[in-house]
Chains A and B, each alone.
Chain A
Amino acid sequence: MPTDDASPESPPAAPSWTESPADEAAPAPLNRRDFLRSTGAFAVLMGAQTLLPTWAHASGSAPAGGLTALGPTRRAGRRVEYDITIDRTPFEVAGKRATAITMNGTVPGPLIRLQEGEEVVLRYHNALDEETSIHWHGLLLPNRFDGVPQVNYPGVPPGETFEAGPFEVRQYGTYWYHSHSGLQEQLGHYGPLVIDPAEGTPFEYDREHVVVLSDWAHDDPYQILANLKKGEHYYNFQQQTVGEFWSDVSEEGFWDTLKNRLGWDRMRMSATDLSAVRAPTYTYLLNGQAPGANWTGLFTPGERVRLRVINASAASIFDVRVPGLEMDVVQVSGQNVEPVATDEFRIGTAERYDVIVEPTDDRAYTVFAESLDRSGYARGTLAPREGMDGPVPELRERPTLTMAAMGMGGMGEGDMEDMKQGGMDGMSERDHGDMDHGDRSGDMSGSMGGGDGDGLRPPGTLPEPVMHDPDETHGPAEAGLPMMTQSRLHEPGIGLGDDGWRVLTYDQLKAADEKDAFRAPDREIELHLTGNMERFMWGLNGVEFSDADPIRVEHDERVRLTMVNDTMMNHPMHLHGQFMELENGHGERAPLLDTITVKPAERVSLLIDGHEKGPWFFHCHILYHMDAGMARVFYVEPAPESDNEFYYDQVT
């Protein structure tokens, strides 16, 4: 029965492999997983999915439902094959019935567990009455398997099957997979994917739980997008009101409050523009469970428990903590980092953070994932036994954007002179870049050329602050340019950092693995994240995806991708098919990321080696921003003599 797979211990407790050589350690967990996988496959054969529909899991009556493990269809030597069926299935969220797009009948889809070094075939069958696709988020694989319709392949029509693979698994870590067709992701089309390392982990733990965070809307997502496009702050029920004005007056005084409000009104911006969609439209889920259903992960006091936290939401950013427990952050974007002890971390859409907690008391702890806008939360429990509840914290107060989001103020007093200085330097540097080198790609008005990398700052260092040239606008697609953009990797982000506990910041992350090489970039590409909230227009450099040419990078060219967020919202930017090295001041310890949440008025740079050939999708992972146009094709050109052919070249 699927309920066996859905036991709180799935995925099976992982041993600590640090001590033992990989080739000895690997077989033991594999055997146990194989057993679980085959029971899963058996359940599918028995048609158990129809006997026990998904909403039975989500109702809260099933003990700690949530994730099921996917068993391999075939295993032969190093090669392993998996099958996934995409269909519509009844789904119940917080007592209300709906229909979800499911994979093998569940939301989230089943946990796929791969082994680094093995050869896999991921086969998916479309049982929907519309086209679908699966993108393997964060995986290094041949371009044609990446799963973005119109970019990598034509998509999978109803009734047809696609085989992603065979390909060799070249990495370890926590990843996920989801639809890249229309707005299917919002309807449940996502699932976790974990790759066990070939060489063990540099940290120890006794047990692990996969924690998939997501958002569910009972509304039709196409209608949600239409409502966002038509405006009126449709999903924002957290706007500033007359009542809030007077309560702010009593705290901050009349003139300061009035000045603040007039400042925002003058710019025609909303200080509460935090998320596109929020609760109560959204119910936030943890492993497919609404807060009331209380997903529970078991532990034995004293164990080190690894939580693989995946933000599989369509459009939500979460702040995650386990009150009462310190968290050791050990992996980000699936890649090992030097452990950082913290109390809370922000996880942007599509990001993954692996943390280790060590509950010593015989009591229940709450895993609390609050949405950035504080409109709601996803919640689960870590407990020594089933049926326990930890104390659930109160939602914090909805933050408001400050002028820092517009690149004004927000820096400490007295930094003003430094800032001006830095800003001027940054500007003259950029002018220099623009003057000397041509623009290689059609739509990148703000990009710097420079084949030889002359004049680029050393790799791994932070970008200088830059005053925004007021004449360099992006037309009607950009409302409200920030005055100044600068590195914000040391900032926890809006609404965080004032609670008296530690919050993880990007500048704390150092890659644990050595890099083969760490050289200076050959070229810098500057991309501005732009938007006009009044029309829900989102783009890059003021251009929407359907009007844009690809960003082109030569094979083996090393580029510095500088993203400048000209908007007031956070954008989790994701590049398919390869890692990016985040230049956060730690030199060659730059952590590897596939997704980075770029803060308002932030300037952030990442290094990319053009090793993975082909057209890769690059986009904001907030589904509605992506669909409104905040996306590009990032085309790594094949070597001149190669005979690579890509689907994208046939359709464009």
Chain B
Amino acid sequence: MIRFVQYSVGLLLVATLWVGGTPHSAQAQTMDDTPRAFLLFHKLEYVPGPAERPVELEATSWIGGDINRLWLRGEGEASTIRREGDVEAEALYGRLVSPFFDAVAGARVDRRWGDGGDTRGFLAVGLQGLAPYQFEVEPTLYVSHEGDVSAQFAASYHVLFTQRLKLESELETKVALQEVPEWGVGTGVNDLGLGVRLRYEFHRKVAPYVGYDHSWAFGETADFAGGDASSGAFVFGVRLWR
């Protein structure tokens, strides 16, 4: 938990330093080459159901212009009961290659603490953007520092009930070519996660939500997990950005 807080605070500090530098210049005739910074806490939530009662975080940040950007993507969870948790953090160079898609490439670091704390690194390449019919998609290919190859696909979709009440559905799945038992990864399709979050945008940048996540683990991955191959939980959180 303490580590989780440290990582979160670290991410916040870095992002705030960037965002704080937003220039207020009345000098340039246009501001089309002004670098900007964005930070979105897509998920900042408490999950009361499971035994670990984790808090979870998922954040995206970028700095740069319209075409070239440095992207930071991170997610993690930490138990509120025991000193354990994990974080995945990515730093990627992204370039807008079509009106709706960035190609990204960079590195990812996974770190977990508690029993059997460990760290591993990856190279990452992928795409992120808006597919036809307004699906946000994010396919990424990873090669770990030990040569293990895996891929991850995430997609999300928004439905507007009102101008402020929005339902976001998402899907996430992972595939691996090699098994990595120490990280609970089997070959083939690892898992599938589906989630819905109903948020209310009191302010565009501050939106509390309730949601439900369900995930299924498959094959060896399910065996490594040892417990139920399927689990679901309600989540309570807030979506923030600046």
Contacts and interface: CB of A to CB of B under 8 A. Distances in A.
Contacts of B28: 150, 546
Contacts, number: 110
A538 B30 CA distance: 11
A230 B38 contact: yes
A240 B161 CA distance: 9
B32 A544 contact: yes
B162 A241 contact: yes
A627 B163 contact: no
Given A239-B160, A240-B160, A266-B133, A182 B99 contact: no
Interface in A460-475: none
A222 interface: yes
Contact of A268 (B66, B134, B161): B134
**A: interface residue count bin:** 35 or more
A243 B163 CA distance: 10
B130 A155 contact: no
B134 to A, nearest CB: 5
A124 interface: no
A265 interface: yes
A537 B97 CA distance: 14
Q: Interface extent on B, as a size class?
A: 20 to 34
Interface stretch (A330-338, A341-349, A477-485): A477-485
A227 interface: yes
Contacts of B130: 268, 534
Given A232-B204, A234-B204, A265-B132, A629 B30 contact: yes
B66 A535 contact: yes
Contact of B29 (A130, A148, A266): A148
Interface in A144-178: 148-151, 155
Interface in A530-576: 532, 534-535, 537-539, 544-547
A225 interface: yes
A182 B25 contact: yes
Contacts of B66: 477, 532, 535, 537, 544
Interface in B153-208: 159-164, 204
B22 to A, nearest CB: 6
A209 interface: no
Contacts of B25: 182
A535 B29 contact: no
A535 B67 CA distance: 9
A232 B67 CA distance: 18
Contact of B96 (A130, A238, A535): A535
A268 B132 contact: yes
Given A268-B130, A268-B132, A627 B32 contact: yes
Contacts of A544: 30, 32-33, 66
Contact of A628 (B27, B30, B132): B30
B6 interface: no
Given A180-B29, A534-B130, 9 more contacts: A149-B29, A150-B28, A230-B38, A230-B241, A232-B241, A243-B162, A617-B29, A629-B32, A631-B29
Interface of A: 130-132, 148-151, 155, 180-184, 222, 225-227, 229-230, 232, 234, 237-243, 262, 265-268, 476-480, 532, 534-535, 537-539, 544-547, 617, 626-629, 631
